[in-house]
Amino acid sequence: MIDENQTATQKDLESCQFLTEHFSLGMWTTSPEGELLYLSDFYIKKLGFSFSELKNNGWIKMIHPDDRENTMYEWKRCMDSGIPWEHEHRIIDKKGGIYYTLSKGIPNKGKDGAITSWNGFDFDISTQKKFEEIIKNSREKYKAVVDSQSELLCRFTPDNKLTFVNDAYCRYHGKKRVDLIGSKNNASMHKEDISLKESALKKLSPSNNEVSLIYRTISADGSIRWQDWNFRGIFDSEGILTEIQAVGQDITERKQAEEIIRKSEEAFRALAENAPDLIFRIDRNLKFVYANSKTMQAFNVSSETILDQHLSKLGLPEVVESIMEEAIEKVFATGEGETVEFEMLPPFNEGFFELNFVPEYDTNKKTRTVLGIARDLTKRKQMEEALEKANHSLMIYSRIFEGSQNQVAVIDRKFAYRIVNPMYAKMKKIIAEQIVGKPIEQVIGTDSFQRIKPSLEKAFQRESSLGEGWFNYPYIGRRYIEYNCFPLYNNRGQVQYAAIIMIDRTEKEEAKEELYRI
C-alpha cells in the first residue's frame, strides 16, 4: 500500500510538471543524494542559469550565502531521515535578483523502502515576505517580542484574574506589571473565542492538567493578533484547581503566511482543474490515458470514446496526426519536450493551435507517458496577419513621405514639429534633426506662423483647409506657398496631430508677376 501511495504521489507530481510551469510554479527532481536531475523550464528562464550550470550539485550556488548553511543542514536532515522537505530560504538569479521561496518536496521510495528520488516544487513568496515586513513595521510596539520570539508567561486564578506576568507579557500588551496584576486575563481576547478558552479550561483536571489552544486577541490599534497558548492547571491536595500557569507566543505572522500559502495552493488547484487549454496524456502505444473536457470538446469526443484509444482513432487530418505522432515519438526517444503548431479544420474546432509535449518519467527516469497541452493561437495569428499588413502599409507610406517632392510636416498641439520629411528640411535650409521638437514660429518666423495657425487650429478641430500666399522665411526669404492642413487620428479616433503639406509655387508666381508688368 505504501508503494502504491508513493507511486500515485509520484504520478501526481509528474503530471503537474508542465502545469506548474504553465501556472508559474517551479518544479524540481533530485537524486537520493540531492543532485539536481530536473528543473522546470520556467524556473530556468526566471533565474537565467542554464540547466548544465545547476545540475548535480550546481544548484547550491543559487541559495543566498546567508541561508546556505542552514538550508543545506535541513536538506541533509531530510535526506538522511526520509521525512518530507519543507523550508523557506532565499535564492539568487544570475543577475543578482533575490527571491524568497517556500520549497516543498517528498521522497519517492522503491519496493525495498529505499529512497529513489525526490520530487518537489517551490513557491515564490517574495510578496508574502514584503507583506510580513509591512506588518512588522506597522506594529512597532510588538517588535521586541517578534524579533526575540520571547514567550509570554502568566498565571491567573480560575476566575481569570492575573497573578503573575513576565516582562515579555508586559511589553506585548504595552502595560506595566502593576496595571496588569489583578486584571482580567481575557480582557483583550476576541469575543468569539472567549467561549473556546472557557471550554478548554474546563477540561483541566488532576489527571489531565494540560491543554493547548490557539485564539485571537484584539490589539490596542484594533488589529487582530493570533496567539498559541499552553495552559497547565495547578491543583491542591484535594484536587481543586487553584491557579493556571500559561505559556504563549504570538503566531500572527505564521498564521498570515499559512493563509497566503493556502490561498496560493487553492489558486493553483483551481487553475489546474479549470485550465482553458487542451490537456491530455498519451502512453508509448500512442493511446490516450487522460483528456480534459477542453480536449474532448475540441476533438468532438467523449471520455468513453477517447480513453485507451489510439491517436489514429480520432479521425484527425492526416497532416495533423502525422505532426503529433512524430513529435510524441521524439519525446519518448529523447526524453525532451517538443513544441509544434498546426491548423485544425472542420469538423473539429477550426483554428491554429500550439501543442507542447513534455515527458513524464517513471521511477527509473524513463519517459512513461507524454503530457500534451494545446493552446488556441487563432487570435494571435489573426493579429500577426493584421500587423504584417499594417507594417506593409506603413512601409509604403514611409517611402512616399521620404521621397515626396512636396514639403511635409507633422505638428503637435503645442505647435511644435514632430516629424518633417527631407524636402521640408531642405527648403528651410536646416537639417531635419534641428527642426524636430522646435516651435513652428521659431523656424518659419512669427508672420508666417500667424498666417497658417488658423488652418492648424481647424485641423485639431477635425477640419481640413487649403491656403496660399507669400511668406517671409528667416533663412530662405520670400516664397509663395500653397498649403493643405488636415487632422491625423490615433487608434482611439482622437485627433493627435495636424499634418501640413506645402508646395513652393514661387517661380510660377514670379513669372505671372513679370508677365503682368510687361
CA 461 to chain centroid, in Å, comes to 43
**pLDDT at position 268, please?**
43
Element (H, E) at 230: strand 224-235
Helices first, then strands: H and E counts in the chain = 20, 20
Alpha helices in 27-148 (DSSP H): 41-47, 51-54, 65-81, 126-138, 143-148
With 0-12 / 13-18 / 19 or more C-beta atoms within 10 angstroms meaning exposed / middle / buried, residue 321 is: middle
What ranges do the domains of the chain cover? 2-124, 140-256, 275-381, 404-517
- For residue 511, what is its C-alpha cell? 513669372
Run means of pLDDT, 10 residues per run, the chain, 518 residues: 47 49 66 87 81 84 91 91 91 89 90 90 84 70 45 90 89 88 85 89 91 88 89 91 91 86 64 72 89 78 84 84 91 91 70 85 84 80 68 57 79 91 81 87 89 92 91 81 89 86 87 77
* Residue 504, all three cell numbers: 513652393
CATH 2.40.50.180 fits 2-124, yes or no: no
Give the model's pLDDT for residue 141. Answer: 47
Report the pLDDT value the prediction gives residue 345, as an integer from 0 to 100. 66
The domain made up of 404-517 is a member of CATH 3.20.20.140: no
In CATH, the number for domain 275-381 is: 3.30.450.20
Q: Which residues does 26 contact at the CB level (< 8 Å), separation at least 6?
A: 20, 39, 40, 42, 43, 46, 101, 121, 122, 124
What is the model's pLDDT at position 412? 92
* pLDDT for 386: 65
- Supply the pLDDT for residue 396: 54
CATH of 140-256, one of 3.30.70.1230, 1.25.40.10, 3.30.450.20, 3.10.20.30: 3.30.450.20
8 A C-beta contact, residue 300 and residue 347? yes
d(CA 261, CA 252): 14
Q: Report yes or no: 84 and 104 within 8 Å, Cβ to Cβ.
A: yes
pLDDT of residue 327: 92
Query: What pLDDT shows up at residue 142?
Result: 44
